[in-house]
Amino acid sequence: MLPLNDVSPSKGAGGNPTPRKARYLPAGDRALSVEFGSTISEDLNQRVLQFDNLLRKVCLPGVLETVPSYRALLVYYDPLIIEYEALVEQLRRWETEIAPQVVEPPRRVEIPCCYDPELGFDLTAVGTQHGLTAQDVVRIHSSAQYITYFIGFAPGFPYLGGLPEEIFTPRLVRPRDKIPGGSVGIGGGQCTIYSVESPGGFWILGRTPLRLYDPSASQPVLLRAGDRIRFHPVDRADYEQMYRSVAAGTFRTNIQESV
């Protein structure tokens, strides 16, 4: 357990206006939700991740685990170890001390993606909606950098921000029953990678040979909140080869630990 002053840098750095105070809401008798705002934005998500990072570093007795999302942090606690009021009081004190320096430098992860129309079966349909060719959609989708807001919904399932507005596409009216694991999809202004086979309403542009969730691995979940993602286009032959080496456990994912 680190003393707090190791992780709480001096205030006033950066010159940003003081952000709005968070709302603390009970979520049952063993969790509370810290809401930092009510929109989806990178800034708000950064505050969530910074606060999450701080809590993980200080290991407050009674705090069991935390779950970051777009604009809120769910804090699980044991009320037999720490009382709600004491916990909220402590969190409020720390909230004023969050600063950008607290967050670890984001990782950069390259996700190989095969945009073959057989795997990216909605590529043409998405292009048609925007008056673009399939190649345009691939170029636009693979040129952007995405930020992982959080992992949720299913094991290893990332919520990605940063989709270029040119290809914002309303979700499918009728979600599909089965989307294959590894499928890369877009819906509204969001992008995701289906970590496991599941139902879904996103338009599928391609597929990655990587396993975002691998129950046999010592670290089953590949991505984490804060990761910066780029999709690297690969052809079908490379995809098949990568798929085999991922299955054999010999593939090395390109992850850069710091900027």
Q: Which is nearer to other proteins, 9 or 155 (CB)?
A: 155
Q: Does 193 bind other proteins (CB under 8 A)?
A: no
Residue 101's CB is within 10 A of a number of other CB atoms, namely 12
Q: Does 185 bind other proteins (CB under 8 A)?
A: no
Residue 151's CB is within 10 A of a number of other CB atoms, namely 23
Among 43, 61, 79, 188, binds other proteins (CB under 8 A): 79
106 and 53 in contact (C-beta within 8 Å)? no
Categorise residue 173: left if φ over 0, alpha if ψ from -120 to 50, beta otherwise: alpha
Q: Which is nearer to other proteins, 33 or 129 (CB)?
A: 33
- If you count DSSP H runs as helices and E runs as strands, how many of each does the chain have, helices first? 5, 14
DSSP class of residue 172 equals P
- Matching residue, tokens 């969050």: 98
Q: Does 115 bind other proteins (CB under 8 A)?
A: no
Q: Does 215 bind other proteins (CB under 8 A)?
A: yes
Q: Which is nearer to other proteins, 143 or 153 (CB)?
A: 153
Q: Does 189 bind other proteins (CB under 8 A)?
A: no
DSSP element (H, E) containing 105? none
Among 47, 71, 207, 211, binds other proteins (CB under 8 A): 71
DSSP class of residue 84 equals H
Number of residues that bind other proteins (CB under 8 A): 45
DSSP class of residue 213 equals B
Q: Does 150 bind other proteins (CB under 8 A)?
A: yes
Residues making contact with other proteins (CB under 8 A): 25-31, 33, 35, 38-40, 64-74, 76, 79-80, 83-84, 150-157, 159, 195-196, 213, 215, 220-221, 224-225
